[in-house]
Chains A and B, each alone.
Chain A
Amino acid sequence: MKNMDKLFKELERQQLQAVTRRHFLKDCVAGIGSIALGSFLASCGGNTMGGGDAFDLNALNPLIPRAPHFPGKAKSVIYLHMAGAPSQLELFDYKPTLHKLHNQPCPESLLAGKTFAFIRGVPKMLGPQATFKQYGQSGAWISDHLPHFSQVADDVSFLKAIHTDQFNHGPAQLFMHTGSARLGRPSIGSWVTYGLGSENSNLPGFVVLTSGGKTPDAGKSVWGSGFLPSVYQGVQCRSKGDPVLYIADPEGMGRDLKKQAIDAINEVNKEEYNTYKDPETLSRIAQYEMAYKMQVAVPEVMDISSEPEYIHELYGTQPGQESFANNCLLARKLVEQGVRFVQLFDWGWDSHGTDSSTSIDLGFRNKCREIDRPMTALLMDLKQRGLLEETLVVWGGEFGRTPMQENRDNSDMPFLGRDHHTDAYTIWMAGGGVKPGITYGETDEIGFTGVSGRASVHDVHATMLHLLGFDHEKFTYDFQGRPFRLTDVEGNLISAVV
């Protein structure tokens, strides 16, 4: 009995210790320190949506839909990222002069002060390896590599003088998706989901689909949530096998049992949140609930085999494959179901000319064929369902390609290729309030640099946020003592296309 008493005593003491320490901390916060600490903590994880309603941490679900600064035309985004950077000179930026200069040495003046990833010494100019024609009422130039896409020329607006400041894939992809070439910033999909929440409570707000055999060079940070609560990061779905790993219940685990387990865990987490107010706890609760609902909703939306045959013909899809075409169809299905941001990555556009698959006249054309029909079909399908006007579709790479032929290590290459180029490349946007049929920006005679309508990656982001109803200068999140923006301290709205 005596031993038992001792044990109780010890327990009591231990408990007291724990209690006093907590009390002390609590008193600190509640006492004089509360003013200073309060504002400090607020700046650690607080938030300002500018003029908008402050994000109410007590409204337990961080994914509930929220209103933007002003009524946005676009409600969802499909971002088609061509990882590796497709050549603008073979697709949209028609340069007949470059054709005349084919095989001539590049003038030294163009090379002075420039850095290239692989070009050394004096490279030769490489004429366009495609034939161009103007299409539609708008007269947009599109090459014969995209015969299907040319039919929707009037639905699309081209930005032809985009420039970036990163000439390697990883940093450039990060820049294109997070507004910073370094790790740690939230991706644009995370920003948008953070700002607008998700309209469908049964599906994630931000879905990522990859094709082309590899994930982007910058890794999963390109759809990461950075310093935003992790509930806003992209959910990568697979188009082959289980769409999300371990989505099916293990054998012997019934749906009811699972529900009870999740409810119990969330009850504990809610108490935890009430004590410590850590937004990550909310993320946890939301993720449990989302996961439970997703078990039904995701396999349904991710199953393209139930689509009618003519849809498969339109997109060129084959159920069960991992392909850009399947991902385009999935993107449409997800947006139809109210998913806020669908990010597609298609790998394989790095046309250096080191082998036939990266050759500008061979492998590059295969890549073009792989995207031509699906992306055209995507625009048409969104349109016929009345979805295009509220869905912003953006297509582009992380940089452009040089008008010069690549001469890796100053030697002749067996295949035709182009090096990374930061000064000018083309992206297009469609739907979601984008003025259709506009070509904004112009490059010089050889497509080396923009001569008018130059726009930076920040400008593209500012424009995308504007279409969604955000003033990019006011759309901020406080972190480490200062408000952060997707566009940091830059970015101007490209008002010609909105």
Chain B
Amino acid sequence: MELFLEELREFIGRSHPIFVHLPIGMLVVAFCMALFGRQEKYQSIQPAIPFVLLLGSIAAFVAAITGYLLSLRGGYDVKILGFHQWLGIAVAVISIFLYRLYRVAATEGRVKRYRFAVFSVLMLLVGVTGHFGGTLTHGAGYFTDALPTAVKDFLGYKVADVELAPIENVQEALVYEAIVAPILKQRCQSCHGERKKEGGLALHSKEAILTGGDGGKVLLAGKMTESELYARLVLPEGHEGRMPPKGRTPISGDQIKLIGWWIAQGASFSGKVSTMQQPAEMKQVLANLEKGKAAELTMEYAELPEAPTLPEDLVKSLQARGIKVLPVAANSNYVVINAINYPEFSAKDMTDLLHIKEHIVQLKLGKTAIKDQDLASMTKMPYLRKLHLEHTKISDEGLKQLKSSPSLAYINLFATNISDAGLDYLAEIKSLKKVYAYQTKITPVGIEGLRKSHVEAYVDSGKYQLPFLVSDTIQY
């Protein structure tokens, strides 16, 4: 019987969020009636005010009672709960008092003004009570977090950063402080934190984690699968007990692995990452933390200074010709020039390209009519790294023009007329790393010559062949 009552109590308590909106609505309506009823035009609604007020106060009492039953379940921030509870009770009491005022003294002027002032205070209380109620359910900052960024900036409100920052040196980092705690903060603490302790569990401090929740300990050091802290994360999707619950931001696969690994390694609150055993897979996951999202930063062209804005008219004019001007990335002003649909590429086009010489990192001019003398302009492009001249009339004379290229690293000369003499010119380009010279007149001697100054350079003269093997013809 006792159990039944307890369960009933819990059941009724859970209806609090439903009932709580009734008094708010009714009291607001009554207030509006009182406000407008003061005008002659709406005088006729005045007699209805006490009735609506009465309904509102009854609802307020129901809400207060269900709210109290819900609070017995525990798991809420005691301080906020106290405010909410007493304010709620105050709302109920004041509203019934107000009902008496509206009921009895309908005519006297002094009471009229005084009762309206009380009503205004009641409205204020309803608002504040509601706010604390919302904080209990959704956690602090529920609304402010969702404000449009522009408004936040205007109000000078700082956004709590939930994105995990990359770790500088993961092996030297403290495993709990730098890895585990931020994950718990990001994914768990809005329900299992200082303010709200769903199931009695809080995960905001070492003590709280070790204490566990209503169901006992959640962390058994060294026993990954037996620790609820991990086991709950890997329950099948749709399972009732899976954490984070449906509708919340899910925890990532890597984060689950990290928590599991931390527990399996003894759940140390003070150890360094380097002191723990790291299977190959975990090494990978840990390394990801270091680079993480910051991996983009190590991408190509990241070390170049920010390029100036591209001249729009010129880009349009080039595009209209069929010369493609392609930014290397969405937020970059560095471009790849591709003349794949513009074989008639000429000296004039080259002059135009010089207007964006600081933007060009790659020139794809294969199969175009580009001539030797046009190459001289390319040395004026400070960041030009890749140059495609395959299937063109370029000869050694042209490569001579390229000698002073500041950053050229890749040159494709496949199916051109160049020879060893051309490679000698290329040898003067310090930044050069790769030369593709399939179907040209270069010889191994020339390649050796280039290697003298460019030990690491890759020169590909192609002509790959696959030997004919007996097994090529065997039919099984």
Residues of A within 8 A of B (CB): 49, 51-53, 65, 67-71, 73, 147-148, 151, 199-202, 310, 313-314, 316, 337-338, 356, 361-363, 365-366, 369, 373, 376-377, 380-381, 383-386, 389, 442, 452-454, 466, 469, 471, 489-490, 492-493, 495-496
Contact = CB atoms under 8 A, between A and B. Distances in A.
A361 B466 CA distance: 24
Contacts of B287: 495
Contacts of A496: 284
Given A67-B330, A68-B329, A202-B341, A493 B288 contact: yes
A490 B475 contact: no
> Which among A73, A361, A380 has the highest number of chain B CB atoms within 10 Å?
A380
Interface string B205-231: 000000000000000000000000000
B451 to A, nearest CB: 18
B296 A314 contact: no
A199 B288 contact: no
Contacts of B293: 471
B374 to A, nearest CB: 20
B390 interface: yes
Given A67-B327, A376-B466, A386 B332 contact: no
> Which among B279, B296, B388, B412 has the highest number of chain A CB atoms within 10 Å?
B296
B250 A452 contact: no
Contacts of A389: 410, 434
A384 B462 contact: yes
Given A51-B330, A67-B332, A70-B296, A148 B436 contact: no
Given A384-B462, A492-B253, A73 B280 contact: no
B153 interface: no
Contacts of A51: 330-331
Contact of B340 (A70, A337, A373, A385): A337
Contacts of B475: 366
Nearest to A466: B295
B476 A363 contact: yes
A495 B472 contact: no
Contact of A69 (B279, B329, B436, B460): B329
A338 B253 CA distance: 37
Contacts of B299: 70-71
Contacts of B322: 201
B438 A489 contact: no
B279 A469 contact: no
Q: Main secondary structure on chain B at its contact with chain A? A: loop
Contacts of B472: 316, 369, 373
Interface residues of B, number: 51
> Which among A202, A386, A442 has the highest number of chain B CB atoms within 10 Å?
A386
Nearest to A367: B476
Contact of B460 (A147, A384, A492): A384
A52 B296 CA distance: 14
B465 interface: yes
Nearest to B331: A51
Contact of B332 (A65, A71, A73): A71
Interface string B39-66: 0000000000000000000000000000
Nearest to B412: A386
Contacts of B410: 386, 389
Given A373-B472, A384-B414, A489-B250, A67 B466 contact: no
Contacts of A386: 388, 390, 410, 412, 414, 434, 436, 438, 460
A373 B472 CA distance: 8
B427 to A, nearest CB: 19
B108 interface: no
A384 B438 contact: yes
Given A199-B326, A384-B461, A386-B438, 13 more contacts: A70-B296, A70-B299, A199-B340, A338-B340, A361-B476, A369-B471, A383-B462, A384-B460, A385-B390, A386-B412, A389-B434, A452-B280, A495-B287
A70 B329 contact: yes
Contacts of A373: 466, 472
A7 B336 CA distance: 62
B329 A67 contact: yes
B471 A69 contact: no
B476 A366 contact: yes
Contacts of B295: 466, 493, 495
Contacts of B330: 49, 51-53, 67-70
B474 interface: yes
B469 interface: yes
Interface string B443-469: 000000000000000001111111001
B469 A147 contact: yes
Contacts of A385: 390, 412, 414, 436, 438, 462
A314 B469 CA distance: 12
Contacts of B7: none
Nearest to A338: B340
A495 B296 CA distance: 12
Nearest to A380: B464
Contacts of A384: 414, 436, 438, 460-464
A492 B286 CA distance: 13
Interface string B371-405: 00000000000000000101000000000000000
A483 to B, nearest CB: 14
Contacts of B291: 495
B431 interface: no
24 contacts: A52-B330, A65-B338, A67-B329, A71-B328, A71-B332, A148-B469, A199-B340, A201-B341, A314-B465, A363-B476, A365-B474, A373-B472, A383-B462, A384-B464, A386-B390, A386-B414, A386-B434, A386-B460, A389-B434, A442-B280, A452-B279, A492-B252, A492-B253, A496-B284
